């Protein structure tokens, strides 16, 4: 498909027709790769740090909650 580069403020861009966008499977975030004479638009890498951060936050919360005097008293009453 041939299209034209258009002005968007101080930048330039292209319009991607909806059928082509749907077929590509691209999401909201994309990565641009540039080589001589071409620009490639690919899916942005998925960030998996959220799971790691959640685990670290859980460990911190457990560590803070685990060493409370009330916990020792509760366990002592069960023994």
Which tens digit of pLDDT belongs to each residue from 15-41? 999 999 999 989 889 999 999 999 999
Q: In this structure, what token pair is assigned to residue 49?
A: 């740090």
Q: Which residues contact 33 (CB under 8 A, 6 or more apart)?
A: 39, 40, 42
Alpha carbon 39 to its chain's center: 23
Residue 65 binned pLDDT confidence (cut-offs 50, 70, 90):
low
pLDDT value at 52 more than 90: no
Residue 77: per-residue pLDDT: 78
Residue 69: per-residue pLDDT: 76
Look up the pTM and report it: 0.51
| Residue ranges covered by each domain of the chain | 6-43, 49-78
To the nearest whole number, what is the mean pLDDT of the chain?
A: 82
């Amino acid at each position: 498909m041939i299209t034209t580069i258009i002005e968007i403020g101080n930048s330039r861009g292209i319009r991607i027709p909806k059928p082509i966008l749907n077929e590509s499977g691209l999401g909201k975030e994309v990565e641009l790769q540039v080589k001589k004479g071409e620009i490639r638009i690919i899916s942005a890498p998925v960030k998996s740090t959220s799971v790691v951060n959640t685990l670290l936050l859980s460990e911190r919360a457990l560590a803070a909650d685990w060493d409370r005097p009330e916990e020792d008293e509760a366990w002592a009453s069960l023994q």
